[in-house]
Structure formats: C-alpha cells, structure tokens
Structure 1
Amino acid sequence: MADLRWVRPEHLHSMFEVDFRGFGWSNRAKVLWSSVILAILWVIWIERNARIFRDVYEDLDSIWDKVCFLASLWASVDKSFKDIPLFLIVRN
C-alpha cells in the first residue's frame, strides 16, 4: 500500500501542504488526499451542526476516526483502489 501515517493536521492550511512520497505522487495519492480533505470538511460541518443545534459534542479522537473512515470509504470506490479491500485502506 503506502507508507503514510494519519496525523491530525494542526491547521487547515496544513492539509494542502502534503508530500505524497508514500505513494510516489500516484493517482491513488491524489484520490486519497482529495477524499481526506473532503472528509475533514464534511465531518467538521456535521460536528458544527451537532454542537449548535443539538448541543452534542464528540471528542477529537472520535472526530478524527470518522474522517479516516470516510476518506478511506470514499477513496475505495475509485478505480485506482479497485483491488484493495476497504479495511486495508482504513488501516494504512
């Protein structure tokens, strides 16, 4: 797969300063990172709404787990991940 570690970005702009050495700038890297950015924005939006409208809060680790899962799920449907099971994408 890839030699990547899922590390929480400290700032939003940090997401866009990524080095894809683990993938060698492959199509998989582009698909996965696009999925990560979208998943972060989506999960933040959902968490924001939960806090504002339902007064429900989740801890940061739980939020990050959702981001990792959604990004992996969304990337897994791309043809570049065709023969790779979802659990391997999530785990790696």
Structure 2
Amino acid sequence: DNLPFDANYLPECLEVYSGDADDANIFVLNGVLKDYVPVHTEKNTSSITVMIDGEFAYIEVEGRQVLNKLGGIVLPEVAINPELLIQSIIKGENND
C-alpha cells in the first residue's frame, strides 16, 4: 500500500540482502560503502531484498518481483574504501 519513493529521492541508507542472510550483503550509509559480504557464486540466490532508509523498497523471490517501490529514487554514487573492501572479501572467504 505504500507509495513509491518521490522523484529524485536520495537515500541515506541502502541495504541489500541476498537469500536468507540475516545481515546485509551490501550496506551503504550516506554514499559510503560501510560493509560488503560477497555472495557465494556457486550458490543460487532465491531472493533479493533492498531496504531504503529502513523501508522495504524492492523484493524479488525466485525471479519474480514481489515489491518494487523504488519509484524515482536516485541511487547514490558510492565511495569505496579499498581497505574496507579487501577486509570484507577476506572475511567472507574465511566464513566458507
């Protein structure tokens, strides 16, 4: 029942969840990548969930769009700290 985000809406917080993950695979705050957990390539993801500023914005389950209220949202250009990205990848590999 919620309306899509307004045109040119710039989110402060963007979270992307893959499959049944409890924590976001991608977490962006104020345009800065804060956390990244790689998805295992050999594992097919059955669902994708995107949260914008704490609200469900997009949900896809088994290739079917269940919710899409992205509307006029403008995804931020993300500043990536290379050291954080490397640490996140190493942390993801160690959890295998």
Q: In which range does the TM-score fall when normalised by the shorter chain?
A: under 0.3
- TM-score, normalised via structure 2 length: 0.26
More helix by share: 1
- TM-score, normalised via structure 1 length: 0.27
More strand by share: 2
